[in-house]
Every structure is written in C-alpha cells, then in structure tokens.
A and B are shown apart, each in its own frame.
Chain A
Amino acid sequence: MNTNSNSYTMIYAAIMVIVVAFMLSFTSGVLKEKQGKNVELDKKKQILTSLKVDTKGQDIEKLYADIVKKDIIVDMQGTLKSEEGGFDIDIAKENAKKPEDRKLPVYVCEVEGATKYVFSMRGTGLWGPIWGYLSMNEDLNTVYGSYFSHAGETPGLGAEIATHRFQSEFVGKKILNAEGDFVSIAVVKAGKTADGQDFVDGISGGTITSTGVDKMLKESIGQYTNYIKLNRGK
C-alpha cells in the first residue's frame, strides 16, 4: 500500500484523532470523581492549616467536620445570603463578577473551644495567581493564623509565602485601626515600617510577590469590611 498518498494520509490522521479522543475522554471520565475529591481535600487542608491545625497524617475529612461548624455566604454589604455552601464558592469566578453580585464565603470554626472566622483571599503574584485563607479571632480583628499558596512563584523567592515562617508572621496582627476602620496588614520590605497599620516583613528577593500579598489582603479581606463591622462585638 502506498503510505504516502494523500487519501491514505488524511484517513490515517482522521482515525488517529478519533482513537486518541476516545482514549482521553475515557481516562478523564473514569478519574474525574477521584480528582475532584483530591481538590476538595486539598482545600480543606488549606483551611485547616490557616487555623494552625496540624494536618499531617490526620483524617482530613473528620478533622474538617469537627472544626468547621458552618460555611456561610455573605455579600459585600455584610448581609447573610446562605447558611451553607460557602465551601463550593470559586473565588476566582466571584472576583470576575460585579462587586455587588459577589458571594463571599465565611467559615465559622471552633478551635479549642473558641470561635474563629476564616476569610478567603485570591490575588496575583509575579507569575500567576496566589491565594490564601486568613483566620480571625472572635473579635474579627486579630489574626489567629494564615495560609498562603501560589501556582508558580519562584522557588526560594516568591514561593516563600507558602512557608510556615512567612505565614506565622501574621499571627496576632490587627486588620482594623483604633477607630475600628479596615486598614489591612501591610507587607513591607524587611526592616521598614508602615504608618497607621500593622505590618509584616516581606520576602527579600520576592518583592513583586510580597506586593501581591499586600494587595490581596487589602482587596480580598476589604470585601468583608461590612460583614466585620456588622458582626463585631455580637
């Protein structure tokens, strides 16, 4: 058979594409459920890490069910939209909507008998998206713990935001000023200070990623301002 004729080449290409398409969709279909579970489990792990819970070698599902009491949805005005379903919200999709339409998840948790609130964040680093969770004490002002991660920041530089050393710097910082207005927490160059707000040291060599974290805190946590005001001291 002449394998170099036009018709042979075209039929060959067509059959190859159909066979490959079938194989890929089969693989994707078979593994989809398991992959979805992994993504979900990873998100639960991230939320627990922001609450300073040690997740190593633990049953994440059980731990999460024990600690996270409610995943409520609020809007920018701070009004309660739903008592549950906060976990399923995709922040990236919400950020693309108009501010008044955005749904914001709040995880109401209980750690060692005290109520904690976890807020969700998403922003941009140097090479791609960065995200994180900020857990607050009952006063909705003092940071209890934090978690940051990234899609592809430079290892050793920007990627340091995912380390315990950077994340533990946020513990005990306040996001409101003395008048009770939202001022966020500044990420500054090591050794510098910020006026009128709490601050942490950024990553040396990872300035753009540090600025990204600073901006993410200001914007993502800023969306919760009304919720914080309405629910403080309740």
Chain B
Amino acid sequence: MAEIKNNPLLTPLNLNNPITVQVLGICSALAVTSKLQPALVMGLSVTVIVAFANVIISLIRDTIPNRIRIIVQLVVVATLVTIVSEVLKAYAYDVSLQLSVYVGLIITNCILMGRLEAFAMSNGPWASFLDGIGNGLGYAGILVAVGFVRELFGSGALFGFKIIPQSLYDAGYMNNGLMIMPPMALLLLACIVWYHRSKEKSLQEN
C-alpha cells in the first residue's frame, strides 16, 4: 500500500487526483466538457504539457535562481503551450478552432504550476515525467467522464454521433439544455467528488 501511495504515476489517478482531491484546473473542466471530443483533446494536451514541463523544470531545477523560479516555470509552460497550439493550428485545424481560447488557458491551468512547484522542483526527471503523466491522465479521466454525461444528455450524442434514437425524440424525449451550460459541469463534478470521498475513507475530513 505504501508503495502505491508514493507512486507518482498512480496516486494522481485516484488518491491525489488533481481535480477531485487537489481541486486544481476546475475552470477548464467546466469550460470544455460540453462535448466529449474537446474534453478528450484538452485532457491529452494537458497531459503532454505537464509531463514535458515537469521534465524540463526537473532537469534545470538546480540552476533556477530561487527568486525568479515561478517566472521560469511560467516561461517554460507558456513556451510549450504556444508550440502545441501552433502545431494544432497546422495539423488539426478543426480541433484548434473548437478549443480556441482554451489552449491559451492551459498556461493558467493551476495543475501545471501546482505540479511544477510541488513536485518537479524537488524530484528527478523520470519521477517528474511519471507525475506529469499521472496528473494529466487523472485530469483527463474526470474531463472525459463529465463530457460523456453532458454530451449524451445535452445533445443526445457522443463524439458528435447521434446515440439517442430518433424514435425516442418522436415519443416526446427532449435533450436536457441545462447539461450544456457550465453550471451543470459544476454539479456533475460535485457528484464525482462526493462519490470519490464516499469510496475513499482516507479522504474524508472529520
């Protein structure tokens, strides 16, 4: 158990999940989850960027002057995000249109700065890489779960394909418009946190 607890790859998936336990990156979780596809792309982009930013910061952690370390972290993140955004614009234009401003918002995603400051500044590159992948996937997992529910009930579709048959609409079924609105993401997120804490007693506060 102790081994799993300290595993940088697996703990962020569950006991130290960036969204439900560290409560980081909530803003983007609300914004991009009205459909499944942008949620997945956002999750994967964050995973890649956290992992590489973690490695870079971890490699140069001994050279970073303490007084400007936050600035250095920010510059590394901003550079990576800009490069990813440029690559998306060149090779996945449709996706970059959908993500539009959110790609830029990755820079301000608290998960990045949180992991860099809390983990990469004091751990080796390999452990930092695993920590980045773990936290990114922990984040992506929650995003996909929320996106799944919101697109299914909000638009009756998954990845843009109609799932709910037309006959059901003819019988009077209607898409839930509230599901597409950001408040519903907050409520769904709260449900996930609730379920998570009821399962993991160690997370409960007295």
Contacts and interface: CB of A to CB of B under 8 A. Distances in A.
B65 A35 contact: no
Nearest to B83: A27
**Which of under 10, 10 to 19, 20 to 34, or 35 or more describes the interface residues of A?**
20 to 34
A24 B83 contact: yes
A9 B64 CA distance: 8
B181 A8 contact: no
Tell me the interface secondary structure of chain A in the complex.
helix
B72 A16 contact: yes
Interface stretch (A67-75, A134-142, A148-156, A192-200): A148-156
Nearest to B84: A27
B93 A38 contact: yes
Contacts of A8: 65
Nearest to B78: A20
Nearest to B85: A27
Contact of B65 (A12, A20, A34, A155): A12
Contact of A155 (B72, B79, B93, B180): B180
Contacts of B58: none
A58 interface: no
Interface string B60-94: 00111111100110010001001100110111010
B66 A34 contact: no
B8 interface: no
A35 B83 CA distance: 13
B66 A3 contact: yes
A16 B57 CA distance: 12
Contact of B75 (A16, A38, A155): A16
B34 interface: yes
B101 A152 contact: yes
Nearest to A8: B65
A178 interface: no
B98 to A, nearest CB: 10
Contacts of B136: none
Given A4-B65, A31-B90, A156 B83 contact: no
Given A12-B63, A13-B68, A38 B90 contact: yes
B22 interface: no
- Please name the 7 residue pairs, one residue from A and one from B, whose CB atoms are nearest each other, closest first: A156-B180, A38-B93, A9-B65, A34-B90, A31-B90, A35-B89, A20-B79
Interface of A: 3-4, 8-9, 12-13, 16-17, 20, 23-24, 27-28, 31, 34-35, 38-39, 41-42, 151-152, 155-156
